[in-house]
Structure 1
Amino acid sequence: MLLVLSEDHKEHLSFLPMVDSAVVGEFGRIALEFLRRGTSPKIYEGAARKLSVPVETVQHGVEGLMFLMTESSKHMISEVDFLDSVLVLGFGEELNQILLQLYLQHHAQIRSILSQLPSNLPAYHNLEWRLDVQLASRPLRQQVVPTVTMRLLLAGGGDGGRSSRVLQTDPSSLLHLISTLEAALAAMKTSHARRIFRNIK
């Protein structure tokens, strides 16, 4: 899977090639600290004084880096997908490798932090299923189609409780759905799909 970065995020990250690699690493550390404890205007001001740039430039650079790291960690993208995602930014090979190392070093920690944040969206908790087949019936002369009934249990959401959704289908439709999803996942990994994602603005 490739990340699709908006023009705003690309503009925020465009500041990174202008600073030393050590500064990019420091921005990564600041971004991680802000994820844990929240932002601090004093840190932005101190970094802006050292680099002789406006505070907004530093703030946007750190926030852009924070977005890149959190989205990459959230979707658990691979090294290749990460490098393909930052390719659209037009950075040099050295900077791309620094960003990759930041992602690889901190993605587990970022996922841990994100899992502790409250979310308004329900998340998968469990799936229960049942296959119903009518074995015999005198009035029914035609073939009886089995039914798959699934209960999707969801955790969290706005109320913080548990909810469930009941879904029902026949086995052939379920197999068709599975094969379509598998084909879509396989298509996402092709070089053609990577080129399309790279050119999406």
Structure 2
Amino acid sequence: MLLVLSEEHKEHLEFLNKVDAAVVGEFGRIALEFLRRGINPKVYEGAARKLSVPVETVQRGVEGLMYLMTQSSKHMLSEADFVDSVLSLDFGEELNQSLLQMYRQHGSEIRRVLTLLPRPLPAYCNLRWRLDVQLASRSLRQQTAPSLSVVLQLTQGPGRPGAARVLQADPATLLHLLSILEGALAALKSTHARRVLRNVK
């Protein structure tokens, strides 16, 4: 399996071609540290001062490298597949070998860190609906059979498109769902629920 990198990601990693192998190694160390402990913007500022480049360039380079390593580790790419994936970046042989060495050394640790990270829950993005009404059929003479189709678009986080969920329900099911939600809202306004929420805070 090969890792397909977007043009934007390739642009972010292009900066690595303009710096020494030692700087690439330092970027790799920073990326791994960020995976373990979270991002620290002060590290970007310090690295940008040393290299005399804008902070955004360093940030994009480190985050691009972090993305490359996490995606490769997540998909458990073999060394040959990793090298073939990196070839699309048009790096020199020395830089390719440096990235491969980094992947060899830290791939299993990155996988372990990824298993500990909480997965982002899907969030609402968009909703489309359609009402279908069947006017007549052999089994339902002189009756209508309406049904509501809903397409719920979800995202997996900022800038990450999620899946679309298609839901269908008849009016009786929708009314039942509505009554349950209204009951839950009424329970939330009760004195007991307010007391519990106060204690939780």
Is 1:89 paired with 2:89? yes
How far does the alpha carbon of each residue in 1:33-83 deviate from its partner, in whole angstroms, 9 at most, with x for none? 000111111100000000000000000000000000000000110111001
Structure 1 segment 130-141 matched on structure 2, within 5 A: none
Indicate the SS of the match to 1:115.
Answer: helix
Tell me what 1:161 maps to.
none
Tell me what 1:69 maps to.
69
In the alignment of these two chains, the number of paired residues is: 121
1:119 Cα shift?
2.0
**Structure 1 residue runs of 4+, over 6 Å off?**
none
Q: Distance in 1 between matches of 2:8 and 2:115?
A: 26
1:120 Cα shift?
5.0
Tell me what 2:104 maps to.
104
Tell me what 1:31 maps to.
31
Q: Distance in 1 between matches of 2:75 and 2:85?
A: 12
Q: Distance in 2 between matches of 1:83 and 1:34?
A: 24
Q: Distance in 1 between matches of 2:116 and 2:42?
A: 26
Q: Distance in 1 between matches of 2:106 and 2:23?
A: 17
Q: Distance in 1 between matches of 2:115 and 2:104?
A: 18
Partner AA of 1:118 in structure 2: P
Structure 1 segment 127-166 matched on structure 2, within 5 A: none
Partner AA of 2:95 in structure 1: L
Q: Distance in 2 between matches of 1:41 and 1:118?
A: 22
Tell me what 1:78 maps to.
78
CA separation of 1:120 and 1:47: change in aligned 2, threshold 3 A: closer
Q: Distance in 2 between matches of 1:97 and 1:120?
A: 33
How high is the sequence identity, in percent, across the aligned residues?
A: 77
Tell me what 2:14 maps to.
14
Partner AA of 2:71 in structure 1: E
TM-score (ref. length: structure 1): 0.59
Partner AA of 1:89 in structure 2: L
Q: Which runs of 5+ in 2 are unaligned?
A: 122-201
Tell me what 1:119 maps to.
119
Indicate the SS of the match to 2:29.
Answer: helix
1:10 Cα shift?
0.1
Partner AA of 1:109 in structure 2: E
Tell me what 2:178 maps to.
none
Q: Distance in 1 between matches of 2:37 and 2:16?
A: 23
Is 1:52 paired with 2:34? no
| Largest Rg, 1 or 2 | 2
Partner AA of 2:3 in structure 1: L
Partner AA of 1:87 in structure 2: L
Q: Distance in 1 between matches of 2:88 and 2:73?
A: 19
Indicate the SS of the match to 1:15.
Answer: helix
Q: Which runs of 5+ in 1 are unaligned?
A: 122-201
Partner AA of 1:33 in structure 2: E
RMSD across aligned C-alpha pairs, in angstroms?
Answer: 0.9
Indicate the SS of the match to 1:13.
Answer: helix
Q: Distance in 1 between matches of 2:120 and 2:94?
A: 38
1:118 Cα shift?
1.5
